[in-house]
A and B are shown apart, each in its own frame.
Chain A
Amino acid sequence: MKLNRIAQLGAVAAIAALALTGCAANEGTPGNGSSGNPSGDATTLSGELAGAGSSAQDVAVQAWAAGFQTTNEDATVTYDPSGSGAGRESFQAGAVGFAGSDRAFTTEEIAAGPFGACAPDTDIIQIPSYISPIAVIFTLDGIDTLNMDAATVAGIFAGTITKWNDPAIAATNEGVELPDLAITPVHRADDSGTTENFTDYLYQAAPDVWTWEPDGVWPLDSGEAAPQTSGVVAAVQGGNGAIGYADASRAADFGTVAVQIGDEFVPFSPEAAAAVVDASPLEEGRTEGDLAIALDRTPDSAAYPIVLVSYMIACEQYTDASAAGLVKGFLEYVISAEGQDAAAAAAGSAPISDTQRTAMQSALDLIVTE
């Protein structure tokens, strides 16, 4: 149809107006600001809470947010799984109200500060609210589980043990037919809390074989590298004879390794993972609300030591006091039995024990709400 010039300009303007409505700012700005009702249990909380950080916690945080928003219908919790480092950066810059991180802030980092969301000269709260076993997964036809001691696991990932029918593996697996196949060890290509916890286990449990300090970046150049947990899972799935390490929630379809503790071989399970955290002491030199744990990866009893402990980090006193009530309510839900069970169902994490819950509750009681 023939349009004259005015009609053409009108059509362009209408389309532009329609397109620009997509830019409406109704998503809510990320920030610790919330128009929340700061009082606690009796009335429901409302407002917007933004967090960022560890991708390992992502599934669990979604479950916690869903549960929290069901009881507090006017509250909205958003979480950006951009990575522990990015989450700590955002929290320090004051862009988010809480952060999820696979390692706690070190005492040097806390002393250096500043923390944008917190009132000056106040401390931060760090609670280890997410405990997830890291499973060592492999793909071998017909084999569902293998027993290995720490030195064998370290040797495989260090590249000194190269075949599946190596005597070291055969020694702990009587009666299992191991194929004459090359081992392809898969590790994380990116800087990851999962890698840091796994290398910490290797370093503590097999220091003769694994001589590299624990680090979020894999220290070796050999073996396959894959980005993120899903990359490692895809890589192990794609190769016969591949072995890798990933969060236990993704290990359902693979063969897994039971690690040696003392005389027995312990497969991964939420209870065994929680047992390791119970047995580990708190780190020295921390403030009252900072529950950073020094994990003991060589426990005496039957516990699964390859575990990722992820923290929730918040301020004791927020510059914007209305945000404090929302954060406190959310984190109290996170550590509650109901919240931990929801996370266990969704993400396969280990629910925290009652003693830990009491300790974390007293840390959360330090959050100043009006």
Chain B
Amino acid sequence: MTTTMSRASAAPAKQRPGDRWFSGTALAAGTMILVTLAAVAIFLIVQSVPGLTATSATASVLKTDFWDYVWPLAFGTIWASILALVMAVPLSVAVALFISHYAPRRLAQGLGYVVDLLAAVPSVVFGLWGILVLAPAVQPVYAWLNVNAGWFPLFSGTVSGTGRTIFTAAIVLAVMVVPIITAICREIFLQTPVLHEEAALALGATRWEMVKMAVFPFGRSGIVSASMLGLGRALGETMAVAMVLSVANIVTFRLFTAENPGTIPANIALTFPEAYGTNINVLIATGLILFVVTFAVNAVARWIVSRRKEFSGAN
């Protein structure tokens, strides 16, 4: 802190070529990211405008108008991602905690490596695994829950015969998202100030109480950041969901039926090969809606983090 203040108050120091080159490169890199984001946003907005105002007369893929078309898709995207996060975040935090605080060093390193490998698997492979292995395996579970706990609204309806439902897609998404959240949380938990941890232990806390008192408050904003990164991947996942999900154009909360709301990226992947003319604009407009939703979710997350920033490790 003191160095920055003295630099600001003193006359600007002479800069070497290396300084200028590095600061210029850093500025260029930062600008390039903004330019790319702006280019994508402009492309989306310009190409979506004919799609946003399209009706079933101008675009054959619409039944009535654009908002009726995109609403089940947006709902499905968010619903599948929420389910995936509900399953993934506790699991990831537990794995990260195990790696950082509970496991012996060598096991921790190996486990961290294996979890990172999971992130390297292509999403198409997850889709294939989902339809060939996971769906037939969980279908009996769905049938049992549907028969015995069918009074619960989420479990009601006619159960799917193949197991390709939104819950299966959420499981696949959760498996894809766990490595991302785990990797970031692991780093965050390792950054907890050792002094806080030792102080908690010195006061007689058990290991779990120490984690609750020292690690979690410090890492809370980091966990939220990691979850948002994972959510971004879940919202945008295309091929795995397109292969695993059996899509019908409805809005429903039921988890085990064959009629599930689709997701925006999977819908674009399925419809684009046969799309032409204004239909392409409609699809790009759905992409714009996804962009806006992701943006909004990230903004909310950042706001949550900033409310508690004086207690967090972000400082």
Contacts and interface: CB of A to CB of B under 8 A. Distances in A.
A182 interface: yes
B126 to A, nearest CB: 14
A86 B248 contact: no
Given A83-B273, A86-B274, A234-B131, A226 B246 contact: yes
A241 B245 CA distance: 19
Which of A82, A85, A242 gathers most chain B CB within 10 Å?
A: A85
Contacts of B162: 184, 186, 224, 235, 238-239, 242
B157 to A, nearest CB: 11
Interface stretch (A68-76, A148-156, A215-223, A359-367): A215-223
Contacts of A278: none
B158 A182 contact: yes
A227 B242 contact: yes
A89 interface: yes
A309 B44 CA distance: 38
B276 interface: yes
Interface in B116-170: 131-132, 135-136, 139, 158, 160-164
B250 interface: yes
A238 B132 contact: yes
A266 interface: no
A231 B276 contact: no
Interface residues of B, number: 29
A183 to B, nearest CB: 8
Contacts of A223: 248, 258-259
A339 B156 CA distance: 53
Contacts of A231: 131, 243
A84 interface: yes
A241 B143 CA distance: 14
A189 B258 CA distance: 12
Contact of B164 (A82, A85, A226): A226
Contact of A85 (B247, B249, B259, B274): B274
A216 B274 contact: yes
Interface string A211-249: 000001100011111110001001100111110000000
Contacts of B61: 217
B131 A238 contact: yes
A186 B161 CA distance: 10
A85 B132 contact: no
B53 interface: no
A288 interface: no
B225 to A, nearest CB: 33
Interface in B163-189: 163-164
Contact of B273 (A86, A186, A224, A240): A86
A251 B156 CA distance: 33
Q: Is the interface of B mostly helix, strand, loop or mixed?
A: loop
B132 A221 contact: no
Contact of B271 (A186, A191, A235): A191
A177 interface: no
A320 interface: no
Contacts of A242: 161-162
B275 interface: yes
B270 A241 contact: no
A51 to B, nearest CB: 15
Contacts of B245: 225
Contacts of A222: 248, 258-259
Nearest to B277: A89
A264 interface: no
Contact of A189 (B132, B247, B250, B275): B247
A216 B131 CA distance: 24
Interface string B217-250: 0000000000000000000000000110111111
A283 interface: no
Interface in B252-281: 258-259, 269-271, 273-276
A234 B127 CA distance: 12
Contact of B258 (A217, A224, A240): A224
B274 A235 contact: no
20 contacts: A84-B274, A85-B275, A190-B273, A191-B273, A217-B61, A221-B248, A221-B259, A222-B248, A224-B161, A224-B162, A224-B258, A226-B246, A231-B131, A231-B243, A235-B162, A235-B164, A235-B246, A238-B135, A239-B162, A239-B163
Given A221-B250, A235-B131, 11 more contacts: A85-B275, A86-B274, A190-B274, A216-B274, A217-B61, A221-B259, A231-B131, A234-B131, A238-B131, A238-B136, A238-B164
